[in-house]
Structure formats: C-alpha cells, structure tokens
C-alpha cells in the first residue's frame, strides 16, 4: 500500500534528473531493492502506470531488480547470500549453528538507471 508513496518519490527524483540532463521524456526507469525491503512488484508497476499515465512518460519501460542480500553469521563470521526468504531462519551454512545473522548488504530501495529523450 505504501508503493504509491514510494513511486511518488521515484517520480520526483526522475523529474529532477531529466531536467538536469535536458531530457523531457522517460523511456525506461529501473529500481533496485533488497529482498527485505517490502516492495511488492505488481503494486509498484501499477503505481508507475498510474503516475505516468497522461504524462509525456506514458508507455516508458519499468524494471524492478532484486538485489541479493548479504548476511554474516554472528557466531563464525561466515558471509553468504541466502537462497531465499526461508533460508533466513535456517542454520548457518558454514558452522551449522542457529545463530542470528547480521545484514551486511543488499538493503534499501534505489532508483539506479534512467533512459530518456
């Protein structure tokens, strides 16, 4: 439900970048996010369509890229990328202990690529 708020921020940033680069029409917009960040792809896509509809950006391509999560075992220090969300609660693949993990990377929601004309 917060996807409309997120997309409103995305479009503000995109507009700033277009002005800075002397462009007027978006042709592609790409967002990168971590798996823990609660970004629902269908809701984001719909928010993008709603916000670009009837504007010069209507019809622009929208891409959403999931960034791999980097975890570190709090006990043995082993660093790894979990295979999926379920793996967050499995024992450490190196030491086998059900220790807590520290999130080392792969968090956040970023606008990371635009194409425009």
Interacting residues with another protein (CB under 8 A):
1-2, 5-6, 9-10, 12-13, 17-18, 21, 23, 31, 36-38, 71, 74, 85, 88-89, 98-103, 108-117
Instruction: Work out how close the CB of 17 gets to another protein at its nearest, in angstroms, rounded to a whole number.
Output: 5
* Nearer Cβ to another protein (52/71): 71
Task: Dump strand ranges (E) for the chain.
Answer: 26-34, 61-67, 70-73, 79-80, 101-105, 109-116
User: How far is 24 from 18, CA to CA, in rounded Å?
Assistant: 6
Q: How far is the CB of 31 from another protein (least distance, A)?
A: 7
Q: Which two tokens mark 89?
A: 């609660």
């Amino acid at each position: 439900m917060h996807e409309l708020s997120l997309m409103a921020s995305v479009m503000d940033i995109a507009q700033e970048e277009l002005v800075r680069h002397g462009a007027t029409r978006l042709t592609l917009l790409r967002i990168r996010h971590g798996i823990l960040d609660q970004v629902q792809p269908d809701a984001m896509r719909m928010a993008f369509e709603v916000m670009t509809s009837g504007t010069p950006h209507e019809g622009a391509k929208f891409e959403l890229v999931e960034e791999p999560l980097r975890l570190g075992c709090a006990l043995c220090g082993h660093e790894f990328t979990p295979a999926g969300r379920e793996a967050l609660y499995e024992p450490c693949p190196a030491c086998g202990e059900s220790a807590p993990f520290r999130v080392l990377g792969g968090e956040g929601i970023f606008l990371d690529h635009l194409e425009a004309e």
